[in-house]
Amino acid sequence: MNWDAFFAVHSGLYREGPGTARDVEWACAQACVAPDAAICDAACGPGADISALRAAAPQGHVTAFDKHLGFVAEAAIRHRRDDAVTVTQGVLLGPDDLPDPVDLGPFDLIWCAGAIYITGVEPALKRWRGALKPGGAVAFSAPVNLAEPTSEMHAFWEQEVDTEDSLDAAIHAAGFGTVASSRVPSEGWEAYYAGVEARCDDLSRCEAPAIRQAVAENRREAEKWRALRDKLGYALRVVRPS
């Protein structure tokens, strides 16, 4: 992948993955987040969920991090007037010579929208147990197949992904119990792809071959999702150490 071209498309977007503020509100309610909670937004992207996390804990503090410095900068700029938000560079779990939630915590809640699959649910939860305060919870969304995988579904994800059953098995294997389960609704996917497609429109007159290719690939991804929307999606889980 040409990462320069990828980030040329994936810059200036409101969010970098499927979801809405309602998903965050649901997760915080299920986790019984207190008004003064310490919250971690792990792999925050450009900071789309920080406002909803702050609304759930108006007397609390949100520590947000991402590995990509461009997203760190965007999130920091968006929330530069809120002293109860800290934005930094970090990773889901080491080793990368950057902090992860254990280094930055402890937290009452770790929220991770769409990124926990990168490291795997089980290793992430095992590591993050050490980042939680007593009674703390982890809430996340993760890609899942909702039907028997087909070649089209494999091509969409470009890797093996969980079913909801195997996702729940990974949660259990990590020593966590599930507090609540749901899914990111279609509106969350449409909101994401609407932003991506608008960015592609903005770049449509650019003649750089790498950007033209990235624009075409992102448009195809949106089309593929709309064809497969009933067969795959993002599961939502709120979990606590058993």
Query: 216: which residues sit within 8 A by CB, 6+ positions away?
Result: none
For residue 1, pLDDT beyond 90:
no
Residue 229 has pLDDT above 90, yes or no: yes
Does the pLDDT at position 180 exceed 90?
yes
Burial of 172: CB neighbours in 10 Å, binned 0-12, 13-18, 19+: middle
Residue 208, pLDDT score = 96
Note the pTM of the prediction, 2 decimals.
0.96
**Under DSSP, is residue 112 helix (H, G, I), strand (E, B) or coil?**
strand
For the cut 80, the answer to whether the pLDDT of residue 105 exceeds it is yes
pLDDT of residue 140: 98
17-185+231-241 maps to which CATH number? Answer: 3.40.50.150
**pLDDT tops 90 at residue 106:** yes
Predicted local distance difference test score (pLDDT) of residue 2: 86
pLDDT tens digits for range 17-28: 999 999 999 999
Q: What average pLDDT does range 56-76 have in this prediction? A: 97
Interval 142-161 mean pLDDT:
94
Give the rounded distance of the alpha carbon of 15 from its chain centre. Answer: 9
DSSP notation for 51-87: HHHHHH-TTSEEEEEESSHHHHHHHHHHTTT-TTEEE
Mean pLDDT of 100-106: 97
85 vs 83: CA distance, rounded Å: 5
The whole-number pLDDT of residue 96 equals: 78
**Token pair 């007397």: residue:** 59
Contact 49, 113 (CB under 8 A): yes
Read off the pLDDT of each residue in 203-232 and give the average, rounded to a whole number: 96
Whether 95 has a pLDDT exceeding 90, the answer reads no
If 0-12 CB within 10 Å is exposed, 13-18 middle and 19+ buried, where does residue 109 land?
A: buried
